[in-house]
Chains A and B, each alone.
Chain A
């Protein structure tokens, strides 16, 4: 799909979706993560829970995505290469569900991997994760969760993994860098 047509499709689909307040969304997600931290007290566990939650979401996203595209008369052709998949996920998928487009870059030479850059993350607008030293101070005596190791937006990884699993593509999705 050409870039501009993909962006146009993404925008068209986004305009048809019911909207929620960004702040409500971000704060709800924040309280979810906070509860998880309280429950699990271990950064890796929290990350994997977020991934699992994202997986359930992703599984549902695919059918909704395909059906809304169908109704909107937007033709999503089956992807021939990983590059096509990346474009569809970033430009149409992210755009449709979140309202922000992700950028695709860093295609591996054999076409088996790519990077997504999300410049405008609606989930983390109010969030600041402590650095390693600050985290040590916070959880000092308790020996509990290392807050700096939490991947706050790890839910995205789960969503992408779940969604692509439904179209027979097994992927591994990881955060490389979170600002």
Chain B
């Protein structure tokens, strides 16, 4: 008879870095994008330096379009796989390198946040504990994305008198490009400042 007791140490806070945040609209345009961590920033720089495409195409822009495409196609897939009567949504995509958390609104706005895969717990053998820590951090990222939408996005961007959904100036457009005089620039709101302050206050953001 084994006296097998699992000593449950308190779950350590998930150790996770946020790589970047992207916000897309219904049509796939990138409304906002920011990289936070060092590896992500370096990756972007590398991408710029080694890109071999035509000179006027920003490779980072292409990358964002690919992210949107992936989210869109996966959502269609998930929707068709969902059982009858239930609506399916794409929650997160986990790869070996990182996790992409996704939050969508009915108005088509998509918030996508890249984070590292969390490392929740030093004891590798207690997989249940790790998965609960993982689940916990997944839930907190989702609620953070919801908070970003409801409190920060709606308050700063939507309520700004300059907001026009069709004419947002997309991130990464060259200044001599087709931005146009009327396009709305996110920089004119303090969305970014509020976003940074909010993310700093999150315990798992490093």
* Residues of chain A at the chain B interface (Cβ within 8 Å): 56, 59-60, 62-64, 66-68, 70-71, 76-78, 166-168
Contact = CB atoms under 8 A, between A and B. Distances in A.
8 contacts: A56-B164, A60-B163, A63-B153, A63-B158, A64-B159, A67-B153, A70-B146, A77-B87
Interface stretch (B31-39, B69-77, B103-111, B122-130): B103-111
B150 interface: yes
Given A66-B105, A66-B107, A167-B107, A78 B87 contact: yes
A162 B126 CA distance: 53
A70 B109 CA distance: 14
B149 interface: yes
B158 A167 contact: no
Contacts, number: 43
B165 A166 contact: yes
A76 B158 contact: no
Nearest to B154: A67
A60 B107 contact: no
Contacts of B108: 166-168
B184 to A, nearest CB: 12
Given A62-B107, A77-B87, A167-B107, A67 B165 contact: no
A70 B149 contact: yes
A54 B107 CA distance: 18
Contacts of A71: 150
B26 interface: yes
Contact of A59 (B87, B146, B165): B165
B121 to A, nearest CB: 31
Contacts of A64: 154, 158-159
For this complex, into which size category does the number of interface residues on chain B fall?
Answer: 10 to 19
B87 A63 contact: no
Interface in B20-45: 26
**Closest 10 CB pairs between A and B?**
A67-B150, A67-B154, A63-B158, A166-B107, A60-B158, A71-B150, A62-B107, A66-B105, A63-B154, A59-B165
Given A59-B165, A60-B159, A78-B87, A68 B150 contact: yes
Contact of A63 (B107, B146, B164): B107
B105 A168 contact: no
Contacts of B87: 77-78
Contact of B106 (A56, A59, A68, A167): A167
Contacts of A59: 163-165
A66 B109 CA distance: 11
A62 B158 CA distance: 10
Contacts of B106: 66, 76, 78, 167
Contacts of B163: 59-60
Given A70-B149, A166-B165, A63 B109 contact: yes
A77 B86 CA distance: 10
Nearest to A79: B106
Nearest to A68: B150
